[in-house]
Amino acid sequence: MLERDTEHSCLSGEAVDAGPMDQLLGHSITYRIAVGPQAGRKVFTLQTLPACDEPVGKIAGFSLHAGVAAKADERKKLERLCRYIARPAVSEKRLSLTPNGNVRYQLKTPYHNGTTHVIFEPLDFIARLAALVPKPRVNLTRFHGVFAPNSQYRARVTPARRGKGNKARTADHGQDQAPAEQRAAMTWAQRLKRVFGIGIETCRECGGTVKVIACIEDLAVIEKILAHLQEKDTSVPTSLRPASRAPPAELAG
């Protein structure tokens, strides 16, 4: 007989039986084993540190941490916070295998009860990874409050003044905005350089600005273009220019 988890009673309702993925999600957020003969039991953990007596604030079963704040002019701090929030869900450096073949995951920050490691069976660990895969045709980024799509104040807080109720604002101030202000979002090339440090906007040969002329995704077309460029490089001699000589006027003199 399995007892109801009092710490996560609000997350262990009957809604988790709606479908296979919903069941995986429900077991994942309640620290329960989702598949296998041990399904429904709590995940095996290692508590190698003494429990902390400091109170932990919880709201509806979720721990709330609001100790980090960024002011409006602290753009670097805000970017660092966004990078931390968007970090991968699993760190490969803290993953290892136990002698009996289970998956051991070391927590970056120990829990208040002293838990430092979580032990998964291989099948259950795959189920946890499957629970992290987003559903198809669902936006990965969702906005709430004044940033929500249907908020009447969205046009006042977004840089490009996008949002519901911005038609009058665009009609009044659209003529006074510069092109850079109307197109505040970064291009995909700028985002690629900002996130991964890959710069493709400047030519490595001449130092000029690179212009995107096409986006080719067809594998057959890509292979044909690469094969043509490789054939062109091998067929053209390395030195086509003749030896330098003086102008004709100087030779005649």
Owning domain of residue 212: 186-234
Q: Is residue 179 part of a domain?
A: yes
Q: Is residue 125 part of a domain?
A: yes
Q: Is residue 248 part of a domain?
A: no
| Confidence at residue 2, expressed as pLDDT on a 0 to 100 scale | 36
State yes or no: pLDDT of 8 exceeds 70. no
| Domain count across the chain | 3
* Segment 67-114, tens digit of pLDDT: 788 888 888 898 888 888 888 888 889 999 999 999 999 988 888 778
Q: Is residue 25 part of a domain?
A: yes
| Confidence at residue 233, expressed as pLDDT on a 0 to 100 scale | 75
* Segment 149-199, tens digit of pLDDT: 888 888 888 777 777 766 655 444 445 556 555 556 777 788 888 888 888
Mean pLDDT for all residues in the chain: 75
| Confidence at residue 69, expressed as pLDDT on a 0 to 100 scale | 83
| Confidence at residue 17, expressed as pLDDT on a 0 to 100 scale | 46
**pTM for the model:** 0.48
DSSP state letters, the chain? -PPP-STTGGGSSGGGGS-HHHHHHHHHHTTB--SSTTTTSBPEEEE-SPPP-S---EETTEE--------TT-HHHHHHHHHHHTS-SS-GGGEEE-TTS-EEEE-SS--TT-EEEEEE-HHHHHHHHHHHSPPTT--S----GGGSTT-TTHHHHSTT--STT-HHHHHHHTTTS-HHHH--SPPHHHHHHHHH----SB-TTT--B---------HHHHHHHHHHHHHHHHHS-S--SPPP---HHHHH-
One domain for residues 20 and 80 = yes
| Confidence at residue 132, expressed as pLDDT on a 0 to 100 scale | 84
Q: Which of 53-62, 93-102, 114-123 has the lowest mean pLDDT?
A: 53-62
Which of 87, 104, 132 corresponds to the end of one domain? 132
| Confidence at residue 5, expressed as pLDDT on a 0 to 100 scale | 45
Q: Is residue 109 part of a domain?
A: yes
Q: Is residue 247 part of a domain?
A: no
Q: Is residue 243 part of a domain?
A: no
One domain for residues 52 and 164 = no
Q: Is residue 154 part of a domain?
A: yes
One domain for residues 19 and 61 = yes
| Confidence at residue 7, expressed as pLDDT on a 0 to 100 scale | 47
Q: For the chain, give the percent of residues with pLDDT over 70.
A: 72
Average pLDDT over residues 20-36: 80
One domain for residues 13 and 128 = yes
